[in-house]
Structure formats: C-alpha cells, structure tokens
C-alpha cells in the first residue's frame, strides 16, 4: 500500500463527496431563486466561515467542517396562527412553546416589508415541493451519471468460469480476520486440488454455462461430494470436492448473511459495457437495497456502538461515515491487486452509491430533513384541495414550526449518529481485507 496513493485516493473521494454536497445545495438554490424566494446564504460545510463572498443578495462561502451544507431561505417558518378569538393555535406554553416562539422571532429578525412576497412559506405548495426536492433529486441525478458512466463506458465486471484464486481455509464472510488462523479448516477447493487457471466445465455431468450457475450448485451442495470437471491446460481433470457449510453473503440481500455450501474458489472477471436499461434496472436494485439499509440502520448502529468500544468485532457490512468511505477509497486507490480501470470504476461506483444514499435519506419525511418540508407542503396542498372541493374557506399554510421540537430531537440524533460513525471509522474501521 503506497501511502501517497492511499492519501490521494482518500482526498479525491472526499472532494467528490464535498462537490456532491455543493451540488445538492445548488439543487435547492436554483429553483428557490426561480420562484422568487429570497436566499441570503449558500454555504458548504458547518462551523466557522473559512471564505465567503457576496453576489447580489446572497452570500456564498465555505465553512470549516465540510460535512454538509445549507442555503438560508427567508420565511421558512410561518408566523403563528390564531383562531377566531385571537388565541394562538398549537403549542404555546412551556419550554416547547418558548422554543417555537424564539425560532419564529429569529426567523423574522431581518425580514423587511419589501420581502413579504418573497417568503418561502407563502409560495404555492407545488413550488415548495420542487425547491425542497431539488437537493435530493440532484443527488439522484449524480448517482445516475456516476453509475451510468461506470456501467456504459468502463463496463461491469462479469465472472467467468476460470478460477482466479483458491482459498486456503474456510472463514465466514462476516469474519474480521484477513489471513488463515491455526484453527481454520482447509477449504474444500484446496483439499480437492483446484488450481488458479482451471476452467470449470461441468458438475456431476451437468455442463456449467456461467459462474452464477456454478456458484448456485455449490451453495446447494453442502454435505455432499460433487465431481467437477475442469480444463487445466490441454487436459481435462476430474476433481472430487466436498462443499462445507459456511456463512456467506445472501444473493438476495447484500447486507444479510446466510448459511450455504462453500467451496473456496474465486473467478476471473472481464469487463462488459452495459446498456442504459441495465443502468435503470441496477439503480432500481440499488435503491431497494439502500431503502432496506435505512430501515435496518437503527438496529445496526447498536452493533457499531459496541464495535466502537471493543465489545464486538466490526461487521464489514455495517454503516460507515464519509471518513470510513474515504478510507476504503484510499485502500482501493493504493491496492496492488486491481488495475486502474477497476480502481476508477470502484471509486465512481462508491461515490454514486453515496449520492443515492444521501438522496433517499433526505427524502425521509422528518424535519430537519428535506423530506420533512416536502411532507409539510404536501399536507398543506391536501388540506387546501380538500377545502376547495367542499367549498370551505382556505385553511392557509401548514404551520411547520409546530414540528420544531421533533426536528430538534431528530437533529440531535443525527449528530450523535454522525459522531458515532466517524469515531468508529477511526478506531475500528472497515477495511477491504
């Protein structure tokens, strides 16, 4: 592993993430300005301002910690609503009421009478939805561009029936060890005499047409002896193997493990360019897998927390922060076992998956995420539309300020989650090995 190339891989990947964040905010900024919303700030990062410049009414800049970004639109929180008797609706008393009132006060400190028609909350619900969807949709667009470039230009690695590597021992897929230990049993492939370069022809008389077919046969053959015919040079050799039961990654859910037959051979791979239809179908599969990961994230974070304090080994498929992803990118860049095409393809794929995750995460209908504002706008549209159908008075805007207590709790959870992942990626990182 070359330290310089490792560091360069980390930096380039992290820069790609920062650019993705900047473009995410552009996805909000452009439609907001098009719809006449006053945008006072556009920043990449959080914390102390490192650099900024003002263009027109908007200040553009970079903060010290480039782990996020934001645009500041005036009038995000509507003024308080009152009933016919003049009483304020919603939460008014106690700490929560004070929190909401203080947030409204801060929101309107710098709003002038000239800004009244440019407040975000006054815009039509469909305009609010477009503005708040712009950021996540930018990440979806970037994911399509990045993954499409890999699939259609560089191609996708497809396994062949030629053996590239024979495992020395049996280790579960979720094991943290990278080398065989004294108590690890020899792999069935090593015992049977498989060699790198062998081309699989048939299993028990059935011709093998693809590596996937061969892999499925192995997974279903635990505890039985199989006869594998391979082409070795100019000879055909019959190998007698006894696949054993091992913990392997699920073929249906990449984040899950299953018990299946294990032989201990890895295939050689070739790159094949794919069609746009493949990009669409793969994006669908990635989206489904990402959604499943989001659903299971709370339970899997508990495992990360235990790994952070050394209570258990780090699950290789557990969530990681941008720090962890950058470390993996560094390992990919500096690996001597893959060529530059595979390195570029892997890094672009990783960045594309990160963008897809960011998009879906932001669509969660919970403040302070974009999805929370989208949900508020949709609720407002439904209420107004229902009122029109029933010939009732317009109920007006949705008071999203009433959701601020939940938003602060959610924001606190996100901060804790981010700190936990970053810390664990430093003290107990996931590595390629």
Burial class (CB in 10 A: 0-12, 13-18, 19+), 284: exposed
Q: Please report how the helices 340-362 and 3-34 are oriented relative to each other, as an axis angle in degrees rounded to 10.
A: 40
Q: How far apart are CA 75 and CA 104, in angstroms?
A: 9
- The DSSP letter of residue 252 is S
Tokens in use for 45? 């990062």
Q: How far apart are CA 105 and CA 86, in angstroms?
A: 19
Catalytic site residue 222?
A: no
R_g (Cα) of the chain, nearest Å: 27
Q: How far apart are CA 416 and CA 90, in angstroms?
A: 29
DSSP strand pairing (257-262 vs 244-249): antiparallel
41, β-bridge pairs? 59, 72
Burial class (CB in 10 A: 0-12, 13-18, 19+), 325: buried
DSSP strand pairing (39-55 vs 244-249): unpaired
N- to C-terminal Cα distance for the chain?
12
Given 25, 107, 331, 380, the catalytic residue: 25
Q: Are 410 and 367 in contact (CB under 8 A)?
A: yes
Which residues belong to the active site?
A: 25
């Amino acid at each position: 592993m070359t330290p310089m190339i490792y560091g360069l891989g980390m930096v380039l990947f992290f820069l790609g993430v920062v650019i993705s964040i900047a473009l995410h905010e552009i996805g909000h900024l452009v439609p907001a300005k098009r719809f006449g919303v006053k945008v006072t700030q556009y920043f990449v990062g959080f914390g102390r301002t490192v650099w900024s410049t003002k263009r027109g009414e908007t200040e553009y800049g970079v903060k010290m910690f480039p782990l996020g970004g934001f645009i500041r639109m005036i009038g995000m929180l509507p003024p308080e609503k009152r009933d016919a008797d003049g009483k304020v609706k919603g939460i008014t008393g106690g700490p929560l009421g004070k929190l909401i009132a203080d947030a409204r006060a801060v929101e309107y400190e710098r709003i002038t009478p000239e800004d009244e028609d440019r407040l975000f909350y006054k815009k039509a619900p469909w305009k609010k939805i477009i503005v708040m969807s712009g950021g996540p949709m930018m990440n979806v667009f970037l994911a399509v561009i990045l993954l499409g470039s890999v699939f259609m230009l560089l191609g996708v690695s497809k396994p062949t029936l030629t053996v590239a590597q024979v495992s020395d021992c049996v280790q579960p897929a979720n094991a943290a060890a990278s080398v065989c230990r004294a108590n690890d049993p020899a792999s069935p492939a090593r015992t049977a005499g498989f060699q790198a370069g062998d081309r699989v022809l048939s299993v028990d008389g059935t011709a093998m047409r693809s590596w996937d077919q061969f892999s499925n046969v192995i997974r279903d053959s635990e505890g039985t002896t199989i006869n594998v015919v391979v082409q070795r040079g100019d000879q055909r050799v019959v190998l007698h193997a006894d696949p054993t039961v091992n913990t392997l990654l699920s073929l249906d859910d990449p984040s899950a493990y299953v018990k299946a037959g294990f032989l201990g051979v890895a295939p050689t791979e070739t790159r094949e360019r794919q069609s746009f239809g493949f990009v669409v179908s793969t994006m669908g599969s990635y989206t489904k897998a990402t959604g499943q990961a989001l659903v299971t994230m709370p339970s899997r974070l508990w495992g990360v927390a235990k790994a952070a304090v050394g209570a258990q080994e780090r699950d290789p498929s557990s969530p990681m922060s941008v720090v962890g992803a950058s470390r993996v990118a560094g390992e990919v860049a500096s690996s001597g076992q893959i060529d530059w095409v595979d390195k570029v393809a892997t890094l672009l794929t990783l960045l594309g998956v990160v963008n897809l995750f960011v998009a879906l995460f932001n669509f969660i209908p919970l403040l302070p995420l974009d999805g929370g504002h989208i949900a508020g706008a949709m609720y407002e549209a439904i209420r107004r539309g229902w009122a029109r159908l029933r010939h009732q008075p317009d109920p007006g805007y949705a008071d999203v300020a009433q959701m601020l207590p939940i938003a602060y709790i959610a924001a606190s959870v996100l901060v804790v989650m981010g700190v936990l992942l970053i810390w664990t990626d430093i003290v107990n990182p996931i590595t390629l090995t």
